[in-house]
Amino acid sequence: MKKRLIRLLLLILVLAMIAIGVWGVAFLRQGDSHSIGSSFLSEVRRYRVYLPAGYNPSVKYPIVYSLDGEKWRHGAIFAANGRMLARLGLASDVIIVAIDSEGHRTRDFSPVRGAEAFTNFLRRELIPAIEREYSASRTRIISGHSYGGLYSLYALAEHPGLFSHHFALTPSVFHSEQIIDRLDAHLKCGNARASLYLFSGLELREDYGNGVDRLEVILRNSTAPGLVWRDAYFALPHSLSMLAGQLGALTTLAN
């Protein structure tokens, strides 16, 4: 019995490795590396652009701005999964712009520290550069995980209209819980025009779950006619939860 179990586990492992290999060959690509000097951040920021399969300059594509882009989970893997979903007809083709955090994520994504300067960098420097260079539609998405998810909520609450879609993947709202109140106040104004995808994973820390639960109550009670939101859960640990979250979020984009 023990030997059979070991053989079964080995077979599953081999099949999983083959599947990952096929996925990598079919969809994993290296992005185009760029950098841009920022007067708002007083530094050079690096980013990578991942184009969809068969990129056609005459076609307008949604642009996903992915935070923590130096990590493969938010750059190359995110883009590969996007290509896979598009090939399967489950999501639109998108351009993914993976923005390096340069070690400043807790500064740039924090509503009480550097989020305003980072927003100015996006609005006035990076986004115009991307939209000059690539064929962009009016669908502009911000995607972030953990601290990046907090920034996605900040952008919705404090800079409505900058992005049409917000992917907040296991957002660490406990770092700045006032953002929930700010979002609540914004929704009560009744002028929200955006889409929010809120994802949570298997968190060992209660403060993650408590913040998300409070946010969900506000969203359920909101009567803002222009807000479209969805929530989802998958039992993955915090460091991997964005993988399932990104897949689910991309499928919310209209084909």
Q: What pLDDT score was predicted for residue 187? A: 80
Torsion angles phi and psi, residue 124, rounded to 5? -100, -15
Q: What pLDDT score was predicted for residue 117? A: 97
| Complete domains list, the chain, with CATH | 33-250 (3.40.50.1820)
| pLDDT over threshold 80, residue 240 | yes
Q: What pLDDT score was predicted for residue 130? A: 98
Which letter, b or e, does each residue of 70-86 get, where b requires 16 or more Cβ atoms within 10 Å of its Cβ? bbebbbbbbbbbbbbbb
Q: What pLDDT score was predicted for residue 131? A: 97
Q: In what order do the strands lie in the sheet with 136-145?
A: 32-38, 43-50, 95-99, 61-66, 136-145, 165-169, 194-202, 227-237
For residue 117, the 8-state DSSP code is H
Q: How confident is the model at residue 91 (pLDDT cuts 50, 70, 90)?
A: very high
Tokens of 178: 């006032």
| pLDDT over threshold 90, residue 55 | yes
Give the pTM: 0.90
| Percentage of the chain modeled with pLDDT above 90 | 57
Angle between helix axes 178-188 and 206-221 (nearest 10 degrees) is 10
Round to whole Å and give the CA distance between 53 and 215.
36
In this structure, are residues 231 and 153 in contact, taking their beta carbons and an 8 Å threshold? no
Instruction: Please tell me the least confidently modeled range out of 32-41, 169-178, 182-191.
Output: 182-191
